[in-house]
Structure 1
Amino acid sequence: MPPNEQARPVLGIDLGTTYTCVAAMGRLGEIVLPNADGESITPSVVYFADDGTALVGSAAVARRDQEPGRVVSLIKREMGRADVTVDAGGRRYHPQQVSAVILLKVVQDALAHLGRPMPATGPVADAVVAVPAYFGAAERKATAQAAQLARLNLLDLVNEPVAAAVAHGLHRGGERTAMVYDLGGGTFDVTVIRVKADGAAKVVAIEGNHRLGGADWDRQLTELLLGRLNSAADSLRGDPKLMGGLVRQVEQLKIALTGAERHTALVTVPGGAEHVVTITRDEYEEATADLLGRTVELTRDALEKARPHGVEKIDDLLLSGGMSRTPAVARRLAEELPELPAARLAHDADHTVAKGAARLAWHALGHDTTDEIATVTAKGYGVAVVRDAARPALGHGMLWMIPPGADAPAVRRHQVCTIRDDQRRMAIRVYESATGFVHGDLADDPADHVSLVAGEITGLPAGLPKGAPVEIGFELRGDGVLKVHARAGNGASLRLEAEVAGAMTESEMSAPLPGIRH
């Protein structure tokens, strides 16, 4: 059946930190669906009004100077954080709700472009949503909830570098190994994909940081620019409206320095005075050298992770994400990692991930069996256990049920034991590794890792001797959402998936979203 004859639209969505893009499969391949303003990408910015409505995209950006307290941006960086809400327009929102408003707007615009009505009830589209490869279980759970709030039938969450690889056909070039270096507006991932002679493709190594991206380059460039204003800088910092305008200038300055050796900005300070400031590319690169260096180190770590999988060399290096256009990226990789091949920039960097997600959405519905790339876990998942029941003073260590780099999806079971006679309850604390490396069972301190879920099995039978078994099971789905269960011999059990840190409750999920203004 041709894609445009589907009963429900099938979309690929790149829900980015700074921009969001939607694509669908057309008769000639993936097509990007513009928003109502004709833009191929929509700023991931939301303005919340007092009347319970919201503006999304360029219209919200335009309000940032006048009413900065009502405008929310960079919300992707807060996904999965239980301690974060934002106050705007007289209401408090979870990161999932803000992301859902963005999704709802871009999907409404996509349906309008396709000539499809917005259904009054039920799912509005089938979709694959791309997420950073280095997102953990809490961030993925939060993204899935945002999709649910936006009335999407979520087919899958796919790692952004995998979507980029699919869009560029890196999994179809015969036996080889490819690397995708994905530096976006708010996140960085590097992924190594191995393709075998029979066409089977698998991610063998993932590294990254979902709080490192173009927004950090903007911040450093802002400080560089403010430093040229001398005494006027302090008064400008205290003026939210003027600072909002400066943010836009910095974005334009960054883009200009991608193609030019220098660029001049005209900066207005309180009182109306204007300052002419010229920034050279060399100055910009020096101010952001440490940020780029962090991506190079993570790339080096990914190479180290790939070697145990038989990866001796990288045959193809693809640069994806808008920030990868910066000339310093390819140059620095060549200088510090000469074993890598010459980097090539994704020809459609702003749209690549959405296009790959659209192709994977089509695949998820069974229409194309050639786009599957098996993947591995970026993080490890385990439970805290007593190091030695005879010496409780030794404290707790980590039992890694699913180590970093394990095949995903993954199902693991392990028996733990009661630590004293007649123990009637057992606390279960689930953790995600803070990095892509762990030291092995019991060698890691739980305090060094990310607490995901906590629960307790009660009702263990009286009289159990110390050492009685309790089975713990982990199920990590392909979309990265983790389910945990524990079961004692008498049937006492615990399921923890619904309690992943940062997840919204059922009552919170039932609250209506703001209406979208056009």
Structure 2
Amino acid sequence: MDKIYGIDLGTTYSCISYVDEFGKPVVVANAENERTTPSVVFFDEDKIIVGSVAKESAKLYPDRVVSFIKRNMGNGEFVFKYDEENEYKPEELSAFVLRKLVGDAEEALGEEIHDVVITCPAYFGINEREATKIAGEIAGLNVRQILNEPTSAALAYGLENGEDKVVLVYDLGGGTFDISMIDIKQDSIRVICTGGDHNLGGKDFDDRIICYLQEQFVEQTGINEDILSDLETAQELQNSAERAKKILSTREMVPISVNYNGEKAKISLTREVFQDLTYDLLERTMSLTHEMLEEAKEKGYYSFDEIVLVGGSSRMPVVREAIYREFNIEPRLFDPDEAVAKGAALYGNKLSINDELIRRIAEDSGESFEEVRSNLEENNIDDDILERVLQDIADDTGFKLAAVKGANIEISNVVSKSFGVVAIDSKGNEIVSNLIFKNSTVPCEVTKGYGTNEEGQESALIRIMESEVSESVIELELAQEIGVAELSLPPGLPYNSPILITFTLNEDGRLEMRARETRDNKNVEIAIETTCVISGDELVEAKERSKNIIVS
């Protein structure tokens, strides 16, 4: 049975995990014996170095080091330029991080790694999810699933907790924030609602410290220059800010030295000042949490049992204090650095065992793989057959039977965006008509009828849009175009001739669109392949280039 590894591809740190024979997730340390690897890439002449050495090199070689890559996933405009000949997009840079994780794990475990589950923020849209998947492909991996980080953390939490609970997963990472309500039961994980901001995270707290240090330097030295324009100074302040933030988690004050152009300033940063500097950032997370809770009420969930903190930045005392102040609940810090990777490994193990279960039943019954999969999903497999095959899998793989059965947990997720098409309203204005709404359970399929705008119209241009608004009709400016299709129409159609449009969204967050003209049954269908990520010949070249580059 193929082992499927779980990878938390983080903004600041990344982590890889697998499930052992007892069904427990195990994190694999890297070559430096660290359980998490900084998501930092250093171009050292003809070598590429990822991790702690890369992070430490940023001060000496700031123009050859790139970090916070995740914030630019799905951004077709972002390119990191190294020397005059080489340019790298976020997918390639992330692939280097993945290769470091996988390469070190292969060395430690003595086995090759092919199949993986990679996590991403719940609030990632089509572009970001596709970019994450392509990063895995460039790294030479078979990406079985892109899994939402809060769902992944809830899986790990559910395994350890063992109780039925409705929890809020407050996930404040290095660069992103997610808030999700999740109904955890012994045999199921159900995401109710999710919200967040993929441009809000620990880095923003660091940036507030950096601005404060710059202001204090000017005040103490009288040098009214932009010290951050000096790359070496900017990197030194970045390191100092991150270190100070961590120290303030356990101490009330931290001294910081700022050096620029021969001048030095000694600055004391207190926890109280830090709280004042970042108050609005925490309030933003509270506001997003309340927005999500209002949407949960529409689904019949008016309360929750516990707030679970994951993500390295949730360690900050100001986070726990703000949550307690807002909800009068003491939040639980749960394995903030590793929970997401462990949950991804558990999900990968579920996929692996499920594949093996279906394969064996298909061999015994003579049915096709898809027929057995469908019967399994509809609970049409005899319990005695299931028990026997699960026992066979346990005997043949070395897994404990309880671990094999425990992997058979039902997981349902929701979509974090709304999807629709551009239409014309009664006043002749372009609007967006949504078919799938934010926080709908996936997979889902929705069909909606539209009409032609002109008599004798020869074709219909279908613009597919993504937004964060859960309303049937929204202004065009509130949505982003993610795909276009053209439906050819038969001649002589009258005005307002019907066109049926169907959206299908799978568990992986992949969107497909079908459109049909009803008179002559003319059809068009596309799977949304965003233009904001590497594709085609460029993707082939990136994969080949990655093969020839040594990553350490």
2:309 is the alignment partner of 1:314: no
1:6-31 deviations in whole A, cap 9, x for unaligned? 55x42110000111111111234111
The secondary structure found in structure 2 opposite 1:510 is helix
Matches within 5 A, 1:284-363: 284-338=274-328, 341-346=329-334, 348-363=335-350
Alpha-carbon shift at residue 135 of structure 1 (Å) = 0.6
The AA in structure 2 aligned to 1:183 is L
CA-CA distance at 1:170 after TM superposition: 6.9
Structure 1 unaligned regions, length at least 5? 1-5, 118-123
Map Cα deviations across residues 467-496 of structure 1 (whole Å, 9 max, x no partner): 222222211111112122323344544333
**Whole-angstrom distance in 2 between the partners of 1:517 and 1:233:** 42
Residues in 2 aligned to 1:91 and 1:261: alpha-carbon distance in whole angstroms: 45
CA distance in 2, matches of 1:170, 1:309: 25
Equivalent of 2:192 in 189, 195, 204: 204
Q: Is the 8 A contact 2:420 2:465 kept in 1?
A: yes
Q: Deviations over 1:361-399 (max 9, x none)?
A: 1011124444432111111111111112xx42xx12222
Question: Which structure's residues are more often helix, by fraction?
Answer: 2
1:121 corresponds to which residue?
none
Cα distance in 2, alignment partners of residues 326 and 426 from structure 1: 53
Match of 2:422 among 374, 384, 387: 384
Letter in structure 2 aligned against 1:275: A
Q: Describe the shift of the 1:141–1:316 C-alpha distance in structure 2 as closer, same or farther (beyond 3 A).
A: same
Report deviation, 1:232: 4.1
Bigger Cα displacement from structure 2, 127-136 vs 445-454 = 445-454
Query: How many Å apart are 1:225 and its aligned residue?
Result: 1.5
* Paired amino acid for 1:324: S
Confirm or deny: 8 A CA contact 1:104 1:150 kept in the other structure: yes
| Match status 1:461 vs 2:495 | no
Query: What is the TM-score normalised by the length of structure 1?
Result: 0.90
SS class of match (2:477): helix
Q: CA 1:102/1:497 → structure 2, altered by over 3 Å: closer, same or farther? A: same
Q: 1:265: how far off?
A: 1.6
Pairing 1:5-404 to 2, within 5 Å after superposition:
6-7=1-2, 9-28=3-22, 29-51=24-46, 53-89=47-83, 90-117=85-112, 124-169=113-158, 173-195=162-184, 199-230=187-218, 231-232=222-223, 234=225, 236-271=227-262, 273-338=263-328, 341-346=329-334, 348-365=335-352, 366=354, 367=404, 368-388=406-426, 391-392=427-428, 395-404=429-438
Deviations 1:240-278 (A, max 9, x none): 11221221111111100011000112222212x432211
Question: 1:486: which partner in 2?
Answer: 515
Matched with 2:381 is: none
Q: Which residue of 1 aligns with 2:533?
A: 503
Q: Shift of the alpha carbon at 1:464?
A: 1.4
Is this contact kept in 1: 2:96–2:551, CA < 8 A? no
Contact 1:232/1:269 (<8 A) preserved: no
SS in structure 2 at match of 1:229: helix
- 1:55 maps to a residue whose letter is I
Cα distance between partner residues in 2 of 1:517 and 1:141: 23
- Within the candidate set 477, 481, 485, 2:506 is matched to 477
Residue 179 of structure 2 aligns to which amino acid in structure 1? Answer: V
Task: Tell me if the contact between 2:26 and 2:342 (Cα under 8 Å) persists in the aligned partners.
Answer: yes
Identity %: 33
Q: Which ranges of structure 2 fall in alignment gaps of 5 or more residues?
A: 355-403
In 2: Cα distance, 1:151 partner to 1:26 partner:
24
Give the aligned residue type for 2:464: V
Which secondary structure state, in structure 2, belongs to the residue aligned with residue 97 of structure 1? helix
Partner Cα distance (1:470, 1:79) in 2: 35
Q: 1:206 to 1:482 in 2, by over 3 A?
A: same
Report the secondary structure of 1:181's partner residue.
Answer: strand
Amino acid at match of 1:129: I
Structure 1 residue identity aligned to 2:445? V
Change in CA separation of 1:50 and 1:468 when aligned onto 2, cut-off 3 Å: farther
Whole-angstrom distance in 2 between the partners of 1:149 and 1:492 = 37
Q: Distance in 1 between matches of 2:314 and 2:161?
A: 23
| 8 Å Cα contact 1:81-1:501 kept in structure 2 | no
Secondary structure at the counterpart of residue 119 of structure 2 = strand
Whole-angstrom distance in 2 between the partners of 1:81 and 1:144: 14
CA distance in 1, matches of 2:139, 2:73: 15
Shift in alpha-carbon separation, 1:299–1:349, aligned structure 2, 3 A:
same
SS of 2:269's equivalent in the other structure is strand
1:12-69 per-residue CA deviation (whole Å, 9 max, x = no partner) reads 1000011111111123411111111111111111123453x42111222222222222
In structure 2, the residue matched to 1:428 is: 462
Residues 403-447 of structure 1: CA deviation (Å, up to 9, x unaligned): 1121111112222221111111111111111x2x4332x3x1121
User: Which residue is 2:401 aligned to?
Assistant: none
TM (norm. structure 2) is 0.85
Quick one: structure 1 residues 376 and 359, their matched pair in 2 at CA, closer, same or farther if it must change by over 3 Å? same
Offset of 1:234 from its aligned partner?
A: 2.4
Q: Measure, in 2, the Cα distance between the counterparts of 1:169 and 1:496.
A: 37
- Structure 1's 172 and 350: CA in aligned 2 closer, same or farther, altered over 3 A? closer
Give the residue type in structure 2 aligned to 1:164.
A
1:105-153 superposed Cα distances (whole Å, 9 cap, x missing partner): 1111111111125xxxxxx421111110111111111111111111211
Q: Distance in 1 between matches of 2:507 and 2:275?
A: 38
